[in-house]
Amino acid sequence: MKAWFLRSFKKGIVTSSFPSGKNESLSPWATTPAGDISGEVNCPVDAIHNDKVDSGKCISCGICFPQFKPSLQIPQITTTRVEKSLSKSMKLYIFDSGTCGACNLEIMALNSPQYDMNRLGLSFTNTPRQADAIMVTGVLTDGMIDPLKAAIDSMASPKIVFAVGACAISGGIMGKSISEIVGLDVQVPGCPPDPFVIMAAIEKARGRI
């Protein structure tokens, strides 16, 4: 008990001050590749056009390295609606439409001491009926189309629909975009997105940054 106390005392405060402070780090795979391309790149998801990478499609496979390297910058987050009424408190519901699990883990990391989502008025809920926002992850398998529609229908307004990760945004290598089935408010790129990127997207959707 004494050792545990001393260890935590020595470590100090681990919680990030983001978004009021700067994000301390960003995982390379969550940042859009950028660089000078010379020669053909056989991108498996056709994400490269006019020497630029579409962050909503890129699955961070690394095939384009070293022509393109992770930019280490927060990728472009697309927001079509800002809901300021949720700026003080927002409940998040994670909907897995067919993932490898990576996006879900990064979203759940928001609840860890490093990110501490509660300081921003954010919490998770296990039912869409109590949720203000739905975080859809995965390639949208056929069997999850009806459950996704039902989950969104059961949410009270105002509600925000997030597509988290390249698979949800564009379908990745084998699926379809959730935008083919439901209206999308926020696109969070990355494979998987970094918790700082997810946090930035949430704050942007609530008009806080």
Which residues lie near ligand SF4 (CB under 6 A)?
Answer: 33, 41, 43-45, 47-48, 53, 58-64, 68
Name the phi and psi angles at 102, rounded to 5: -65, -45
Residue 169 CB, shortest distance to ligand SF4, in Å, is: 13
Residue 182 CB, shortest distance to ligand SF4, in Å, is: 25
Q: CA-CA distance, 13 to 130, in Å (whole number)?
A: 32
Q: Pairing state of beta strands 52-53 and 48-49?
A: antiparallel
Tokens of residue 26, six digits: 């960003």
Residue 66 CB, shortest distance to ligand SF4, in Å, is: 11
Residue 57's SS3 state is coil
Residue 166 CB, shortest distance to ligand SF4, in Å, is: 8
Pick between residue 64 and residue 201 the one whose CB is nearest to ligand SF4: 64
Pick between residue 60 and residue 79 the one whose CB is nearest to ligand SF4: 60
Pick between residue 8 and residue 76 the one whose CB is nearest to ligand SF4: 76
Look at residues 151, 153, 117 and name the one whose alpha carbon lies nearest to residue 137: 151
Virtual torsion, Cα 187, 105, 209, 78, nearest 10 deg: -10
Pick between residue 33 and residue 195 the one whose CB is nearest to ligand SF4: 33
Pick between residue 53 and residue 136 the one whose CB is nearest to ligand SF4: 53
DSSP state letter for 181: T
Residue 61 CB, shortest distance to ligand SF4, in Å, is: 4
